[in-house]
Amino acid sequence: MYDLIGKVLIGAVAISVLLSSLALFVSRISLNRHVRLAGIFAWILDLFYLPIKYFFCKLSDPRILDSWMVSLKNIAHYHAFRRTRNRIMLLPHCMRNLDCPAHASRYGIQCKECGRCIVGQLKRDAQKYGYRFYIITGSSFVKHVLKEKPADGILVVGCNYEINKGMRFLRDKGVIAYGVPLESDGCYNTSISYEKIAGILEEFGPVDGSL
């Protein structure tokens, strides 16, 4: 009996390692081209996220894992996000200029469109395409927003770790997330290409009736 249990456990571990390795390989490929069954492979990586991240911390940079997973999930979520009709754009507060005059409220940082950074332009673009726009100070803020003003799609700008974390949370809420990674991350003065976000907004198109 114990021998059988041992064989089953060894077999389960072997299958888990095989599936995780295959999912990692596919996620790495997704950085450069479209892959099939992206949703299934993303689910596998979510399932084994903690042990996989442990090995990345020991052997490599854990940020690499998050970047692969965000790329894979963007492919998996692409068509579903296009079908969403109640969208939000979330920006991290670290994108603000150090001399930002905006103040915080229960709905995040209230951009004054002072022109010292690209956030004001992104706010105008997001509203033009029918997105509700928020500058958030932490991931817990997302729960607050969704509780008061539900959405079915969220365009998340941030570091790959925060985007992946948010995608995992939103998956259980039935909200489709699409991530736009920062080009340089940190606690302040982070940056992203304006052309990149503008192109994504145009690619997904406006929410019905917003243009």
Mean pLDDT of the chain: 88
Cβ atoms 31, 68 nearer than 8 A = yes
- Predicted confidence band of residue 210 (pLDDT cuts 50, 70, 90): low
pLDDT at 101: 87
Which of 188, 204, 92 is closest to 137 using CA atoms? 92
CA distances from 72 to 183, 196, 199 (A): 18, 18, 19
Neighbours of 15 (CB within 10 A): 10
Please tell me which residue, 108 or 205, carries the higher pLDDT value.
205
Structure tokens of 81? 């996000």
Which helix (DSSP H) or strand (DSSP E) does residue 10 occupy? helix 2-29
Distance CA 126, CA 30 (A): 27
**pLDDT of 40 over the 90 cut:** yes
Structure tokens of 18? 């095989």
CA distances from 104 to 115, 148, 201, 202 (A): 18, 17, 26, 29
**pLDDT of 141 over the 70 cut:** yes
- Predicted confidence band of residue 178 (pLDDT cuts 50, 70, 90): very high
**pLDDT of 6 over the 80 cut:** no
Distance CA 68, CA 27 (A): 5
Distance CA 85, CA 107 (A): 21
For the chain, give the percent of residues with pLDDT over 70.
94
pTM reported for the whole predicted model: 0.89
